[in-house]
Structure 1
Amino acid sequence: MKPNRTYGWLLVLLLNLLVGTPATVAQTLSVGGTGSSEPIVRLLFDEFRKEVPGATLNHLSPPLGSGGALKALAANRIGVAFIGRPVQPEEARRIGQSFLLAETPFVVASRDARQKDGFTLDQLARIYTGELTTWRDGSPVRLILRPRFESDSAQLKSMSPAMEKAVDAAAQRPGMVTADNDLEALKLISETPGSLGSTTLGLLTSGNSRAVPLPVNGVAPSLATLKNGSYPWRKPLIVALPQQPDALAERFAAFLRSSKARNVLQRHDYLPATQ
């Protein structure tokens, strides 16, 4: 007697349900980190899903920040962290591997870009201290600050000795607008007339923002000027994994080192790290 075909197909279906097919089984990767990383991570994951169609991304919101993401990683709350500063030694002991994925120009940007030639570092310092309060046309500069403990504040302070003092002074000025994370800062910069605030070129591009990055000391931020060193201010994008990453996290981390990922990064003004 020939075997029952219906029974055979039911057996195959049952085996597929039990074993699964890696390319199609739904899997979720939870990630967290800096707000500036969110748009580019989503774009990278969209490309990754072409290889793993069943994978889904759970990007924790609001942004955890670099420190918060590393704590979440150590507690196994997320599978991958994207951070905007180097991992500290005490943090490294609680997580697995980390690597530099890319860098992007760290910029000051404005909704209106009323000075196409931007500012010198001395002028920026005077804006932060409150000595310079208007654009060249006489309209007010509306400065958007970041919390003192955030990496953007540290980046601004590292631009020059004068900026180091000026950023601290700005934090003491009454009535200043402060954005809690990168995405809130970008929203305020994009919507506030006469705005001026810090962000990254990669976030402006990947987030399709209308805000305009301004030259500093006469040099416009771009991947070319970042690469040749004429525009030295940059923000890293670092990937960190837990001590025992799952298979999906490991596969995504491997994808991030691929030529496909590098193409996505470069199209959105991130300079991929040399692997």
Structure 2
Amino acid sequence: MGESKMKKFLSVALILMLAVTMLAGCGSKGDTTTEEKTTEEALSGKIVIAGSTSVQPLSDELAAAFMEKYPKVSIEVQGGGSSVGVKSAADKIADIGASSREVKDSEKKLGLKEYVIAKDGIAVVVNPSNEVEDLTLEQIKKIFTGEITNWKEVGGKDQSITVVSREEGSGTRGAFIEITKVEEKNAEGKKVDKTTVNALVQPSTGAVKQTVANTPNAIGYISMGALDKAVKAVKVEGVEATEATAKAGTYKIARPFLYLTNGEESEVVKAYIEFVLNEGQEIVKEEFISVK
């Protein structure tokens, strides 16, 4: 073979090699995308979540987002209460138990794996003109049950207190009365809401905030995420109502939202919990405090 032909042959061979390399690179990128898509399509199975009715609406939203991402996954969300969530996870009746309280010492022996998926913080708010800066949990309880009716009893002006509360069935109301002990058990052991009958009941966080902002002697409670200068959040037991104090556990009117498993987690359950603790925190932040 002549030198000229040899050069042409080598040039063609080099071009072919470059072309193959480029095609292989394109194919590799395509394979990665296909692999990710295949994973989303391939993940399948059913998850049953049972427990806290406070966590239930959040679980519904998280489950809907997860099922949209993984169409072959089915998630059933049930209520029943936090104690039901603990028992359901322990007895393997549900894949995930949901609780809106800490696991009790008596339940720790069940050996459940705990995941904090969100924090629920509630601020006690007054009109900005109110000189009261700090209240104890006991004072808050007595105000909302109607035992304390004048601001002078807690260091304020000689002025009657207007209590503003959420409607019955509100998740915020449920959490507030539970934590502040406004909800008590009667002789039969049934929980009873002791909120004063004189309270102004409002249907939303916005309505509570507006009422307190427009009423100098009012007091109410709203989710921390709704705080702004229209109202003033009082300290509780000397601690400010902030996302940081709620996360740290120093602010008392806050609670964790937990997912509980018995440790035997299927691939789909692991994937769902991983989603909740990462991507799902964007959903959590809409109404609650993210754990990230």
TM-score (norm 2): 0.54
Instruction: Check 1:156–1:254 CA distance in 2 against 1; reply closer, same or farther (3 A cut).
Output: same
Q: CA RMSD in A?
A: 4.7
- Aligned partner letter, 2:69: E
- Mapped to 1, the partners of 2:144 and 2:120 lie a distance apart of 23
1:269 partnered with 2:283: no
What CA distance in whole angstroms lies between the structure 2 residues aligned with 1:226 and 1:215?
Answer: 14
Change (3 A) 1:40 1:153: same
1:249 aligns with 2:274: no
- Letter paired with 1:70: V
Look up the equivalent residue of 2:179 and give its one-letter code: Q
1:41 aligned to 39, 59, 63, which one? 59
> Aligned-pair distance for 1:59?
1.2
2:193 pairs, out of 172, 178, 183, with 178
The answer to whether the 8 A contact 2:184-2:193 is kept is: no
How many Å separate the matches in 2 of 1:30 and 1:169?
31
Identity %: 18
**Equivalent residue for 1:67?**
83
**Match of 1:190?**
203
Which runs of structure 2 are paired with 1:18-33 in the superposition (5 Å)? 23=41, 27-33=45-51
Q: Does 1:141 align with 2:195?
A: no
- Provide the rounded CA distance (Å) in 1 between the counterparts of 2:129 and 2:274: 41
Over 3 Å counting, the alpha-carbon distance change for 1:196 and 1:89 in structure 2 is same
Pick aligned residue for 2:259 from 226, 230, 239: 239
Q: Deviations over 1:71-96 (max 9, x none)?
A: 11222221112212222344233353
Cα distance in 2 between the residues matched to 1:169 and 1:88: 18
Q: By how many angstroms is 1:30 displaced?
A: 1.4
Task: Give, as a single letter, the amino acid of the residue that structure 2 aligns with 1:93.
Answer: K
Summarize the Cα distance change of 1:177–1:48 in structure 2 as closer, same or farther, 3 Å threshold. same
Deviations 1:85-133 (A, max 9, x none): 2223442333531122232313458xxxx84678742552431453334
1:241 is displaced (CA, Å) by 0.7
Q: List aligned pairs for 1:122-133, cutoff 5 A.
A: 124-128=140-144, 130-133=146-149
Q: Which residue matches 1:155?
A: 179
Q: Distance in 2 between matches of 1:57 and 1:197?
A: 36
Task: Tell me the distance in 2 between the aligned counterparts of 1:90 and 1:243.
Answer: 18
Q: What is the one-letter code of the residue matched to 2:85? A: A
**SS in structure 2 at match of 1:91:** helix
Aligned to 2:20: none
Equivalent position SS for 2:41: coil
Change in 2 beyond 3 A, CA 1:28/1:156: same
Change in Cα spacing, 1:189 to 1:67, as seen in structure 2 (3 Å) is farther
The CA deviation string for residues 204-236 of structure 1, in whole angstroms up to 9 with x for no partner, is 89xxxxxx9972339884536646989553211
Is 2:237 the counterpart of 1:223? no
Between the aligned partners of 1:131 and 1:84, the Cα distance in structure 2 is 28
1:98-109 counterparts in 2 under 5 A? 98-108=114-124
Q: Give the aligned residue type for 1:190.
A: P
Q: Distance in 2 between matches of 1:44 and 1:57?
A: 10
Gap change, CA 1:71 and 1:214, over 3 Å in 2: farther
Which whole-Å deviations, capped at 9, do the CAs of 1:162-213 have from their partners, x for residues lacking one?
Answer: xxxxx488979xxx9629xxxxxxxx762799898878557x89xxxxxx99
Residue segments in structure 1 that go unaligned for 5+ positions in a row: 1-20, 158-166, 180-187, 206-211
Secondary structure of the 1:58 match is strand
Aligned to 1:82: 98
Report which of the two structures shows the higher radius of gyration computed on alpha carbons: 2
Structure number with the higher strand fraction is 2
- Tell me: higher relative CO, structure 1 or 2? Use CA pairs within 8 A at least 6 residues apart: 1
TM-score (norm 1): 0.57
Shift of 1:22: 7.2
**Paired position in structure 2 for 1:121:** 135
Aligned residues: 217
1:272 offset after TM fit, Å? 0.8
- Equivalent residue number for residue 76 of structure 2: 58
Indicate how the Cα distance of structure 1 residues 55 and 215 shifts in structure 2: closer, same or farther if over 3 A, else same.
same
**Shift in alpha-carbon separation, 1:87–1:224, aligned structure 2, 3 A:** closer
